[in-house]
Structures are given as structure tokens and as C-alpha cells.
Structure 1
Amino acid sequence: MKLRSMAAAALLACSGGAFAQSNVTLYGVADINVEYANHVGAVPTAANQFNRGPANDVYRMNSGGVSGSRWGLRGSEDLGGGLQALFVLESGFNVDSGTSQQSGRLFGRQAYVGVQKPGIGMVSLGRQYTSMFEALANFSPTAYATQYEPVVLQSGPNFREDNTVKYTGKFGPVTALAHWSFGTGLALPATVGIATPIGGNGEVPGQFRRDTAYGAAVAYQGGPFGVTAGYDQWNPTIGTSNGTAKKAVVGASYSIGPAKIMGGYRWGQNKNAADVVIQRDDFYWIGANYQVTSAIGLTLEYNYDDVKSLFGNTNVANPWQIAFVANYAFSKRTDVYLTTAYAKNAGLMMESLATVYANSLSLGNSYALGNGQSNMFGAAVGIRHKF
């Protein structure tokens, strides 16, 4: 009996030690607003014969203005010798309706597990952000604000990818990233320029390249100055074969007191399954953050896309957008905001055929221009709470 008691005590002690070396955190953001937008039409799909329909004003409640609403779990365990196991499970949801985002996935924003060691880096496996998207996070003035940021035009609709192996290394002021996806899991419906759906789950026997993707990026942040460069390629299913979507980017930032200026350039080229260029453009952005007081922050961002060719059309009117965000923080966890934008030759978020209307399809709210319109204005007032 005495030996059994001693063994049980030893087991409990060991278990307690193991639990003390691991942790799990619940976190999240709830962001909701009321929006007005004009000249709004329908996303052109086969269901409406690819007709955007008439332009209308819209008043609506949206989930996600300056941040996508989410909840998540993240944790780590010390494995000894500086090695750690870690995981992240992050679910996107709509506060206005209580439904899941990211095509109904339970953990559609992120879902991965990995190991890391200081001085070597982290290897993670699962649904993750692309290397280029992650590297640009600190070089986009509105920090990927959900409401009007033209993130699809900048980084591609595949900025989150399923079945991904990713490396992240942090070495002082330098961060290096690289990833490979065996199948991105992104599928977009047929549009005006392409008669078949784009993308899919990949991992098709005998078709290793289909729906794969890869990329790499490096970022430097030393003192007030920062710079980044990256490359991303997606090989989406088109018909029974695959095309390519390639992007290369550079960005820079500089902080001056309470202000931070940032901007960048992104080269893009998409080809169909016959290796014919269907889209070629140069995307530029510039903007600034200014912290007026500890509670008041202002952001201004300008985006411009120089469209060289789009589905054979070399005379496309170049879209541009200007966006403004004013934020007031009641505390570290709760703030209110005004976000507004004006887009020309595209809908808000620079939504058009060039983005395959991926923003609208993802958000469930159309930013497609109605027939006969060439501009759109939108404004929203909202509240965000972090937990």
C-alpha cells in the first residue's frame, strides 16, 4: 500500500510538471458596424447570367470593419532543450448573423500545428496565411482592415491556403518565411472571362501540380525603418488542367514620432491552362498612420492598379481607391471607429473582374458595381471588442 501511494504521488507530481510547461489561450475579436454604400450591383455569376444588374444604395449591418470577427485557441508546450510544440485554431464568424465565414469552415482563418526552436525557426502544418501576405501585414496602412482593404488585388484570393507546410524564422530584426501548399482548397465560381470555376481542393492522384501553391518572403524591421520583399504562386484548376497566378512584391515603411508612412509595389501575371496571359497588372499603394493621442488614431491609404491586360482587353480603365479610418479607443480592448472609402473604375475594395469578385463572395456582401456605374462610395460606423 505504501509503495502504491508513493507511485501515485510521483505520477501526480510528474503530471503537474508537464501541465506547468504547457498553456492554452482563448482569444478573439467581435467587430460589427452599420454601413452605407452606393452604386451597388450583384456579383455576376451563372445564376444571374453574369449580369451585375441595376445600381442601388444599400444600408446594412456588417461583421468586421477594421478586424475580421474571430475566436481562437492557441497553445504551446515546452518539449525541453528549447524545443516547443504549438498550435493555433482560429474561427471566423459573422457577428450580425452568428454564421461561420470562410465557406463555413469551423477553423477557416487558421488551423495548424508545429514545432519551433529559437535560432532555428518554426515549421507548421495546416491551413495558414501565405508567406507574402504575412510579410506585408506591417506594410499595409489599414492593416488588412476587413471593410475596404483591397487585399485580394494585393495578395491574391489565395492568401489563406489549406494543406500548407510553412517555415518561419526570426533572426533579430529579420523575419524569413517560405511555404508550400499541396492543395489550397480555394474554389471560385465561373466569371465573365473564364467559363469554368477556378481552383479546387487539389491533391488529385496523377496531377501533383493541380491547385498547389508556394511562396517566400523576407522582412526587415530595424528601428524606424522597415522593408520587405516576397513572391507568391498559385496553380489553380481551370477545366481539367491548371493555370498560374504569380505575384512579386516589395514594400517599405518609416516611422516619424507618432506617424508611420508605408507603401509598396506588387507585380502580377495570371495565365490560363493554355499558358496564355489573361491578366497582367502593376499594383501600388501608399499611406500613413497617425496617433493623434493615446486614444485617437487616424489612417489614410491610396491604392492604384495599372492594368496592362485583362482577358485580352488592353484598354481597361485603371481602378483606384482612397480610404480613411478614424479610431477612438475607450480601452485596450474596446474601440469605436469610422471607416470610409471611395473607389473609381471598380467597386469598394477595388472589386471587379480583376479580383474575380472574390472579396464579395467571401464577405457575403456585394461590392460589385451596378451596370452603367464607374465609382462607389461607402462609409461605416462600428464598434470592436477584443477578448
Structure 2
Amino acid sequence: MSTSNRWHGRSVARGREGSAGCRLIAGIALLSMASHVSAQATVQLYGIVDDALTFTTNANGGRAWAQTSGVGQSDRWGLRGVEPLGSGWRAVFRLENGFTLNDGRFSQGGLEFGRQAFVGLASDRLGTLTFGRQYDFMSTNLTQFSAGTVTPSVFAFHLGDLDRLGAERLDNSVRYVTPVLGGLQLGVLYSFGGQPGNFVANSAVALGATYSHGAFSAGAAYVGIHNYTEAFGIGTTVLGTQLVGTRPQGLLSPFQVFDKLSVSGIGAGYQWGPAFLHGLFTLVDFRQKGASASLRTAEGGVRYSVTHALSLAGSYAYSKLGQAHWNQIVAGIDYSLSKRTDIYCNAVVLRASSGVRAQLFTLPAANSNSQTVVSLGMRHLF
């Protein structure tokens, strides 16, 4: 090989080496940029799996043993994301699916993301604005003061969950909450009905407020829903409409529609050493063909942390609708195996006035005025 050819070969080799070096540097730069982007925008997968053995003393007249999904907390999985946009702004979204663990089916009527589905913008200075299928403020502002959450037991929520403490949603909604200022946060929501020629039909308006200072916390909420559909029974008649659910899961057959349902409530809690004291009052107003009826519920209770892992809870609730009234007693014990896994045992007793069929939330109505359910379950969060 001539000298020129030898130098030409070396030149080509150096050119290849230089090209490879450039690609390596470019690759490192791209990886660095990708790492920077991923550190800014985050998407989190989360969920709850919960299952329990339950015994009911009176369901359609008979005792019932069952394996029940989501007694302590409803089964779910979801995705939530945040992307900083600069100047203190963030894009946020959440997609949350509900399911029943024992058969793998979708909850919320078979909707893929029936628990929550929304997208929006958030700012520490200006608040958060979101659009989609979302909770109203009865659940987000008051459920932490309810036995259904504190115990925990889905059966401990009030009659038919008419006061919406068990996490009810509104479709086609726009929701805004302010930043927390001096412990106070306010919120407003509007749900579009979407009926041509009638702006009010199927629409809803909700308002809410929360306040916290040290060991004290409180919340208030209101929601008014036009053309409201009730799915769960409460064991009695309201404005001539029979609300006795005898189908599995306490569902009505068929569902009943009211011209309007207005719900309001106020609740508070105080952490007194190892004891959390909680109380709330809710008012449900039914409107149908110019007539109205009101369901009032007052509840109080305590959760006591015996150790960092073991807690005891108890509560009492009284509800009244016209001449009918109900007494509900809840007791429970919860033991944490880890930060994300716990086991629980609870009992809920409901006794109604004479002539009213007792019906705990999500259970078929009893054939008498008394019903009790006992649950032993396990919950895991991820």
C-alpha cells in the first residue's frame, strides 16, 4: 500500500471515530434532556384492593354470608399526572377506574373510568380549574367526618348515600377551588345538563368550603341536582315514590327520578391526642311535582389510636324523614400490618321506626325494621 493510501485509510478511520464520537455526545445530550423532562412531568399509577367476608342478619328476610368487594374502601386503580408549564402553572389530569375485586367487573354502571376522569390547570397562586367527571363537595369536604370513612365501612354511610358522603360524581362538570388562604379553601362546581333547549334540565350546582387550624378541621358543602336519579333504596316511601331496594346491592327496580335533590351539610373534627372526635349534620331535600320532603341526619363519633398500628372507632347517627326515623350504631377495629396494608373488623346496626324496612347502604332491604352487618376484611393500597 502506498503512503497516500495509508494516510487515506487513517483519515477515513479518524472520520468514522469522529462521527461515532459526535453520535455518542448527541445521545448523551438527548438522554440528559429526557431525564430533565421526566423529572418535570410525572404520571403515577395508584390503587386500592379491598375484600371482606360479611354476615347480614336480615336481607330480604334471610341471613346472608357473602364475600364483598370494597367494604373498607372501594376497589380502584388510577392514573394521575402533573406537568409544570412554567410561571407556577401545572397541567393536571386523573383517570380512575372502579371495579369489584371478586368478579373483576367495572363498577359505576360499567364505566371504564367511572370514579373520576378530568383534566385541568392548577396554580399555587390562583387555584385549580378542572373539567370532566368529578366529585362534588359533599364527599371531598365532609366524608372525613363520617363513620363510613373513619371506621372504615361502606355500610356505615347514611341511607342510600342520599347525602353523597360516599363519593358521588357529576358528569360534564367544571370545578374550581381556590388556593388555601389562612387555612380556608373555597370551591364551586357546575355540571352541564346538555339537554337541547333546556339549560337547567339535568344540571347541577355545588359549593364548598374547608377550614383547618392545628388539630381542628371543618367543612361545609351544598349541591343542587335537577332531574336526580336515585339508584339505592332506603326502606321507605318518599313523596309517594317507593324507595325500597330488594335487588342485590340494595338497588331499586327501577331507579327513581325526582325533579330536584338539594343536599347540604356541615362537619368538623378535632384531633385530641390519640383521639379523633368527629361530627356532622346533613340535610337532603326532595322536590317532586311541587311537593317537598326533607331527610335530616346528625352523626357523632370517635376514633382512638391505641398504638401506631391499632385503632378503635365508634359512632352514632340519627336520621329523620317525616314520621320515619332511624338509629344507626357503628363500631370497628383496624390494625395496620404496614403503611399500605391493614385488616379490619366492623359492625353496623340500623334500627328504623315501626312500619319502615331497615336498609343499610348497598344492602337489600330487610323485611323488618332492623338490620345488622358484620365484616372482616383486608385492604391494600398501592
Q: What is the distance in 2 between the residues matched to 1:375 and 1:107?
A: 36
Q: Which residue of 2 aligns with 1:85?
A: 91
Name structure 1 gaps, 5 residues minimum.
42-54, 184-202, 309-314, 361-365
The match for 2:305 among 280, 286, 291 is 291
Q: Per-residue deviation at 1:12?
A: 6.0
Task: Output the aligned Cα RMSD.
Answer: 2.6
Change in 2 beyond 3 A, CA 1:15/1:291: same
Q: What is the distance in 2 between the residues matched to 1:132 and 1:326?
A: 26
The match for 1:337 among 324, 344, 352 is 344
Q: Which residue of 1 aligns with 2:211?
A: 220
Contact 1:210 1:237 in 2 (8 A): no
Name structure 2 gaps, 5 residues minimum.
1-17, 230-254
2:109 is paired with a residue of what secondary structure?
Answer: helix
Q: Which residue of 1 aligns with 2:48?
A: 29
Q: Which residue of 1 aligns with 2:283?
A: 267
Q: What is the distance in 1 between the residues matched to 2:311 and 2:127?
A: 34
Question: Equivalent residues in 2 for 1:4-83 (5 A)?
Answer: 14-41=33-60, 55-83=61-89
Higher radius of gyration, 1 or 2: 2
Q: Per-residue deviation at 1:165?
A: 0.8
Q: What is the distance in 1 between the residues matched to 2:131 and 2:260?
A: 23
Question: Equivalent residues in 2 for 1:338-377 (5 A)?
Answer: 338-345=345-352, 352=359, 359-360=361-362, 366-370=363-367, 373-377=368-372
Q: What is the distance in 2 between the residues matched to 1:263 and 1:297?
A: 18
2:154 is paired with a residue of what secondary structure?
Answer: coil
- Does 223-232 or 292-301 show the bigger shift? 223-232
Q: Which amino acid aligns with 1:133?
A: S
Q: What is the distance in 2 between the residues matched to 1:157 and 1:326?
A: 20
Contact 1:30 1:385 in 2 (8 A): yes
2:141 is paired with a residue of what secondary structure?
Answer: helix
TM-score by length of 1: 0.79
Q: What is the distance in 1 between the residues matched to 2:364 and 2:312?
A: 24
Q: Per-residue deviation at 1:221?
A: 1.1
Contact 1:119 1:171 in 2 (8 A): no
Q: Which amino acid aligns with 2:309?
A: A
Q: Deviations over 1:156-175 (max 9, x none)?
A: 78821111111122224222
Q: What is the distance in 2 between the residues matched to 1:301 and 1:290?
A: 12
Contact 2:148 2:166 in 1 (8 A): no
Change in 2 beyond 3 A, CA 1:90/1:172: farther
The match for 2:185 among 163, 169, 175 is 175
Question: Equivalent residues in 2 for 1:196-211 (5 A)?
Answer: 203-211=194-202
Contact 1:158 1:234 in 2 (8 A): no
Q: Per-residue deviation at 1:138?
A: 2.6
Contact 1:65 1:339 in 2 (8 A): no
Contact 1:344 1:376 in 2 (8 A): yes
Q: Percent identity?
A: 29
Report how many aligned residue pairs link the two structures: 329
Is 2:282 the partner of 1:276? no
Q: Which amino acid aligns with 1:159?
A: E
Q: Which residue of 1 aligns with 2:250?
A: none
1:247 is paired with a residue of what secondary structure?
Answer: strand
Q: Deviations over 1:191-247 (max 9, x none)?
A: xxxxxxxxxxxx1111221111111111111012222222111111689x9711112
Q: What is the distance in 2 between the residues matched to 1:257 and 1:287?
A: 15
Contact 1:235 1:245 in 2 (8 A): yes
Q: What is the distance in 2 between the residues matched to 1:321 and 1:250?
A: 19
